[in-house]
Structure 1
Amino acid sequence: MAMASAPDGDLSALWRSRVAGSGPRPFLTYHDFGTGERVELSYATMDNWVSKTGNLIQDELMADPGSRFLLAARPHWMTAVWALAPLLCSAVVSPWGDAARARFAVSGPDEAELDYARACQGERYALSLLPLGRPFAEVPKGFLDYVAEVRMHGDRFAPLDPPDADAPALTTADGESLTHRQLLEQAAPKYSAGARVLIATERTSADAAGLIDWLYAPLAAGGSVVLTRGGEDAELDRLAEIERAERV
């Protein structure tokens, strides 16, 4: 099977095209061996979360084009939402970047992640990462509960300032910015067109390189990802067989 060619345009246009053409097909399946949680988000279901989050960014935060969103959270389906939604608003995702330079921050629930994000002086959201998308029982001090806040926003999103291919999209580990075009050029060659891949969170990350591997590359290929947490090799092999996915 041929590798996917680099899509033209920006990630926002690509996302809309994938949702329109593959709405009910799986996009991201999250499996946690420790809790037994399995969440499957189709392109349409993920779009619901991304759209709600886009409306939060646009209507509540009033983020300007180029606004930097720190993302300090482990690989998870909620992390994926925040790696996509700002890009649809012409904002920039800064995974584990300079928190002090970020206008807004999104953090996971672990204390190390929260401490990292506290250097951001703007609005800060915490991701509970709990099964079934539950909110926090006790919201971390200095943060808003993303799950509780996003529910009030609509699930149809129209950007006021849609990005173009040369708009900045993602900051890398060395602080440089990839444009939408550069991001897609790096992501597209990784997997075959339509590939379904299984990736263990312990063998990847939520920095720029990790996000390209387990999120943007499957999207660019028009495929899907099974993201797992925990599990021994034999369990992962069995899950890959059940999910009809290729381990990478």
Structure 2
Amino acid sequence: MQIAPRSGGPVPDVASLLARLAADGGRPRLTWYGDDGERVELSGAVLANWASKTVNLLVEEFDAAPGTTVVVDLPVHWRAAVWTLAAWRTGATVALPDAAVGGPDVVVTDTPERWTDAGADLVVVSLPALARRYDGELPPGAIDAASAVMTYGDVIGWVPDVDPDQDALVTAAGAVGHKGLVPESGDGARVLVDGRGAVADVLRALLGIWAGGGSVVLTSAGTAAALEADDARRERLRSTERVD
């Protein structure tokens, strides 16, 4: 299924990408297949709305801005995409757990017990789509993302200017700046993305697909493995989701 972009031209940054997604209406831009048969579909407008609420949380709670380091300790997941988009929109640097960064300012994680001694502000994310609160004991001072994000506005309020020369994504393999974060645009296709890939590679692939007006069918690592082992199931999914 080819999805022509609504407006042409390159997408220079995440702010421009979110603006296009917000204006995109009801077309599916991210369809998530998780474990246990979970399926979540987000239009461009809904994806941008989630990111906007999360931007507002990051700015209002943590003063996120250029110079802020946000560790995103989440697996490949639609929520990981939302949190990284939001952090980039504030101009912050997203670091993955394998990156050698000292003293992160904020940690976004689904496994808070790994970060209780990090000395950072902690945001605890519940991965199930229907979760309304974290199903566990929150560390002292931690924010429960499932309940907190929904209290913030649907439209981004004040947000600092992004410094294009600062790092946007830091991993063990190196860093990518905000200036070069959005890859060359794709061709408007609906693409099946394997969730077993490295988180950084998957996130940047999503940016390129969306920048080209395309749509993503993203699987968890477990679902990707199951699809690889079952050709008939994989073909049914490709047909049902109209994957190119």
DSSP-derived class of the 1:106 partner: strand
Letter in 2 for 1:24: G
Aligned to 2:56: 55
- What TM-score results when the alignment is normalised by the length of structure 1? 0.82
Aligned to 1:195: 189
Equivalent pair of 2:31/2:217 in contact (CA under 8 Å): yes
Equivalent pair of 1:89/1:161 in contact (CA under 8 Å): yes
Rounded Cα–Cα distance in structure 2 between residues aligned with 1:69 and 1:50:
15
Equivalent pair of 1:197/1:225 in contact (CA under 8 Å): yes
Q: 2:31 aligned with 1:29, yes or no?
A: yes
Letter in 2 for 1:217: G
1:92 CA drift (Å): 1.3
Letter in 2 for 1:16: A
Deviations 1:89-123 (A, max 9, x none): 111111223464311001124xxxx4544453121
Aligned to 2:95: 94
Letter in 2 for 1:195: A
Letter in 2 for 1:181: K
Letter in 2 for 1:232: L
Aligned to 1:221: 212
Unaligned runs of 5+ in 2: none
Aligned to 1:148: 147
1:14 to 14, 17, 20: 17
Letter in 1 for 2:33: H
Aligned to 2:80: 79
Unaligned runs of 5+ in 1: none
Equivalent pair of 1:99/1:118 in contact (CA under 8 Å): no
Rounded Cα–Cα distance in structure 2 between residues aligned with 1:161 and 1:83:
16
Equivalent pair of 1:169/1:180 in contact (CA under 8 Å): yes
Letter in 1 for 2:188: G
Deviations 1:115-169 (A, max 9, x none): 5444531211111101324322223435421111212111110343132543431
Rounded Cα–Cα distance in structure 2 between residues aligned with 1:135 and 1:218:
31
Alpha carbons of structure 1 residues 245 and 118: separation in structure 2 relative to 1, 3 Å: farther
Alpha carbons of structure 1 residues 68 and 14: separation in structure 2 relative to 1, 3 Å: same
Rounded Cα–Cα distance in structure 1 between residues aligned with 2:146 and 2:91:
22
Rounded Cα–Cα distance in structure 1 between residues aligned with 2:176 and 2:139:
33
Q: How many residues align?
A: 230
Alpha carbons of structure 1 residues 238 and 119: separation in structure 2 relative to 1, 3 Å: farther
